[in-house]
Structure formats: C-alpha cells, structure tokens
Chains A and B, each alone.
Chain A
Amino acid sequence: MQRVINDRPITYLDSGASSLTPRSVIEAMDRYYQHHHANVHRGVYQTANEATAVYEGARARTARFLNAPGGSEEIVFTKNATEAFNLLARSWGAAFLSPGDVVLVSEMEHHANIVPWFQLRESHGVEVRFIPVDDDFRLDISRIDELMRGVKLVSVTGMSNVLGTINPIHDLAEMAHAHGALIAVDGAQSVAHSSTDVVALDVDFLAFSAHKMLGPTGLGVLWARQEILSSMPPFLGGGGMIKDVSVNGFTATTGPSRFEAGTPPIAETAGLAAALTYLEGLGMDNIAAYEKELTGDALTRLALEFNGRVRVIGPSDTLDRGGVISLDVEGVHPHDVAQVLDQFGVCVRPGHHCAKPLMKRFGLAATARASYGPYSLVSDTDVLLEALTHAVTMFG
C-alpha cells in the first residue's frame, strides 16, 4: 500500500488489526475473477471445475501449512476467526457440554473467545472460568490444577493481541489432556508470525483469520481434529451442507462442507493460498526471528527515550513475546496519541482491542497499540518514536 498521508509515506503499525496484502495475493484473487469465476461444487462446466479446484486446493494448502494430520478434511472455511469460535461453541459446545461443564479461557482473551462461551452459558448452563494474568503479563498457571476442575475445554490465545505475550500452548495442551479436556487455540495473532504445527502443539482446535496473515478479509479458518469434527453437528443450515433434503427434513453432508452453508468466499481462498505461499517463501522461522529483532529494538528505545512517560503494557523483553506493543502514555489518552501519530502517517490502533477483561485487569480503559508484520522496518520505529515525542510534548 503506497499512500502518502499528510505529506508522509504511511508507516503501517497496525498489522495486529489487519495485515497489508502482498501483490501476489491480490493477483491470485484477480485470476479467479478473470479466468475461473464460477460457483463451487455446483456446475459441471470447465470454469466451475476450476473454481472448485481453487477452493479445494486452498483447503489442502491450508492443511499443509498447519501440518494437519487429517489433511483437507480438517479445514473448515468461515468468515473470520470470530465465526470460527462461534461455530465451535454452537456446534461442538452445544452438542458435547452439559450444564456445569467448564470452559476455561484466559483473562487475556479477545472477545471472540469470550462472548460465544458466555452465550453458551446462557443457552446451556456451562461455566466460563478465567485463567488470571500475572503482573508480568503472563498467564498465572500456579493454581492450574484447581482451575482445571470440571473443565471440558481449554480455549486460549496463542498470542495476546494487546500484550504480545506468547502463551505456552504445548504445556497447556498437556495439562488439558491430562484432565480429560480438549484444547482450542486462538491463532489470530500467532499464525502469521511463527510456524504453527498442530501435531507438535498437540491441540484439538485452532481458529484464525486470513486478513491478519497477509490474506484477504472475509475468510477465516477453523481447524479441528478429524475425529472430533466428524462428530460435530452442523452449524448454519442451507445449500452446500446437506446430503439430502425432502419435505420431511434434511440430512447433513459429511466433512468440512457440513459447516459451510451457502456460497463461500472463493476468491478469498485463492488469496489465502497465495498468502501462505508468500509467508512460507519468507520462512516462518525467519519471520519470527526478524520480528523479534524489530520488537526488541522498539522495546529498548521506548524504555530509554521517554523517561518513563511511555509505559509498555506487556512483557519488557522478547522472550515468548511477539511484535504487538501496547502503549500507555502518561497524561495523554490513547485516542489522542493515535491522532497525533496519524499526523506523521503512523497507523496505530487506540482502544480496548476487544479485550475488556484484560484492560480492566490492568486498570486501563484503552491503550495505543503498535504492531509489526514481516514487512515492517526499523525505520517504522524511528517514525513512531518521533511522533510519540511530539505527542508527549503537545499534551505537556
């Protein structure tokens, strides 16, 4: 994206909200519209076959990216990560949880991984319990055995969209399974920034959005172990998800299509496949190492340059931490910080980042959040610091 704002080239530091889009991703979507446009799983003509190949090819590509043991059969396309969690709660949750069963989330979750469980509490009487966050911005698992009592599902984020904290998913998976529970991971902030291997992590569900991993908006993924997915009842009803319909009722089809009622986003899946190829071209480990360097540099300079007037709400070093940096500027509301930064072409996000329980935990109404992507540069941090200096001065 090449925009000049207020005579300044854009400094995009909002990849945590939505990442920028590589040309190859845009071209892949263009190609679908210009050469293969048709609905999927319907027509028998040439382009209809091609469209189906694009869509199903992207499913296979996604499965390979996650090292999904059951391949394509485990990949459900949704609208976004939020819809993936709603699918999980409404289908798996409603079918397998009984009143009194516990869903254990954490205090650092995005509302997408809280509200669907609260809704399930209302409809099915499940209990929603929270793993607390300690003063070092990490999950406090010191009393995990107590917390695990009655838990049927642990559902936590791979990386906090506010703190940047990367959670010990493999350890949590081990604890969940030892207590006979399943584990779901919110991968929205993690999948684009380090490698995700669902077998190595030993998890059961994973949800994420394409638009935060260099892909297009309008597409998300729910990955679930095949044996679990095949036991789950359908979510939305309509075309594409049925085996048979008569005036007396319907039977649902099998496989991921069972959860994909109606015409799905098709061009977007082509875009996602291209984004995954782009990410793997860079190398997920390279991306992780590079962003760690950027983050470390920014954290060091933020600590040095503002005499404590700019506080980082998140871990202060790069151990188990990603490139999301939430700032609390003394005496300046995050909205005003972001507004002054905008004058320098700097895009950051002010607000509660859909994580109100976490904000409350740290006594904040909002933060201004800068977040990095694989295309970010040290010079982005330079402009950020220049603009922050201006904001601090302006509001005295």
Chain B
Amino acid sequence: MANLDDLYREIILDHYRSPRNRGELPPPAHHVEGFNPLCGDEIVVYVLIDDGVLVDIKLTGHGCSISQASSSLMSGAVKGKTLEQVRDTIATFKQLMTVHEGQLGEPAVATSPDADLRRLGELAALAGVVKFPVRIKCATLAWNTLAQALDETST
C-alpha cells in the first residue's frame, strides 16, 4: 500500500509552504487559466517568451499541496529554458504521471527509467504521486496549463 511519505516528501511540503515564482507578469506576457473541476483548484500561469526562450514565468491561484508544490517546482524547472527544453520537460513529467493498466490492488509503479528521473532533478520528488491516481490531476494541472500557454503563444 502506498505510503503517505511517498506523497508528502519534505521538498513538496517546503514548496507548498513557500511557493516560488508566485505573482503576475504584465503584458506582453501571456497568461492562461487552468481549472481542476473535480476539486475546484485554479491556477493562472504567466509566461514571458522571447526569441524561443521562456524568459520568465509566474503563477497565481489556489489549490492543494500537491498542485501548489508541482506548479512551484515546475516554474523553477522551466524558467530560462528554451521552448524545446520546456516541452521536453513537460513530456517527461507527464510520462512520469501516467498510470498503467491493471494496477488496482497492486502498488502502482512509476515506469519512467531512472535516467528520466535523474533528468527531472527536484521534480522527481513528485514521482510518488502516481501511486495515488486521484491526485495525478493535481500534479499535472500546472503542466497542462503551461502547455496550453505555449501552444497559444506559438500560433
């Protein structure tokens, strides 16, 4: 059975208590709102993109410790990266958050190879979330919203 400590790693509680990159960015930054209709969590992601680089990112909104920590960790992981790197990180993170079939009753396993986990750095602290499938939506809310922001700015 999944253990609570897998979910509430110290690093997650830390990012929940003191989230990084909180706030808004004025135009020309682009912003997108994300909702988790199941639990009422809301997030706004502000991105400032210049010449293919995510120059700055800020976040507002409210939600549970997992969604707040995930968005805080995300902001640190993508800030200053090229859009290609950002998309790559999003894809790797979402892969980490994928539940595979037939896991009812068995402990869910994170399927990402260790190499991916290492590449994710601090974000790997969220790997335990996949053992609590209901909470995956909390962890991915910020990421899906960021992906949407990138899509909207690239068109």
Contact = CB atoms under 8 A, between A and B. Distances in A.
B41 interface: yes
A366 B138 CA distance: 14
A334 B135 CA distance: 12
B65 A395 contact: yes
B1 interface: yes
Given A339-B4, A351-B40, A352-B39, A365 B62 contact: yes
Contact of A351 (B1, B7, B17, B38): B38
Contacts of B66: 335-336
B39 A336 contact: no
Contacts of B8: 336, 339, 394
A367 to B, nearest CB: 10
Given A335-B135, A340-B4, A356 B40 contact: yes
Nearest to A366: B40
Interface in B5-48: 7-8, 13, 17, 38-42
Contacts of A365: 39-42, 62-63
B124 interface: no
A340 B40 CA distance: 19
A279 to B, nearest CB: 31
Interface centre among A6, A356, A359, A365 (most CB of B within 10 A): A365
A339 B132 contact: yes
Interface residues of A, number: 19
A340 B66 CA distance: 13
A5 interface: yes
A350 B1 contact: no
A197 B65 CA distance: 45
Nearest to A332: B65
Interface centre among B13, B42, B64 (most CB of A within 10 A): B64
Nearest to B42: A365
A343 interface: yes
B42 A343 contact: no
Interface string A328-362: 00000111100110010000001110001001000
Contacts of A366: 39-40
Contact of A335 (B1, B39, B42): B39
Contact of A339 (B1, B7, B41): B7
Contact of A343 (B4, B41, B138): B4
Interface centre among A334, A340, A366, A396 (most CB of B within 10 A): A366
Interface of A: 5-6, 333-336, 339-340, 343, 350-352, 356, 359, 365-366, 394-396
22 contacts: A333-B63, A333-B64, A334-B64, A335-B39, A335-B64, A335-B65, A339-B4, A339-B7, A339-B8, A339-B132, A339-B135, A343-B4, A351-B38, A351-B39, A352-B39, A352-B40, A359-B40, A365-B39, A365-B40, A366-B39, A366-B40, A396-B17
Given A339-B7, A340-B4, 12 more contacts: A5-B1, A6-B1, A333-B68, A335-B64, A336-B66, A339-B8, A351-B39, A352-B40, A365-B42, A366-B40, A394-B8, A395-B65
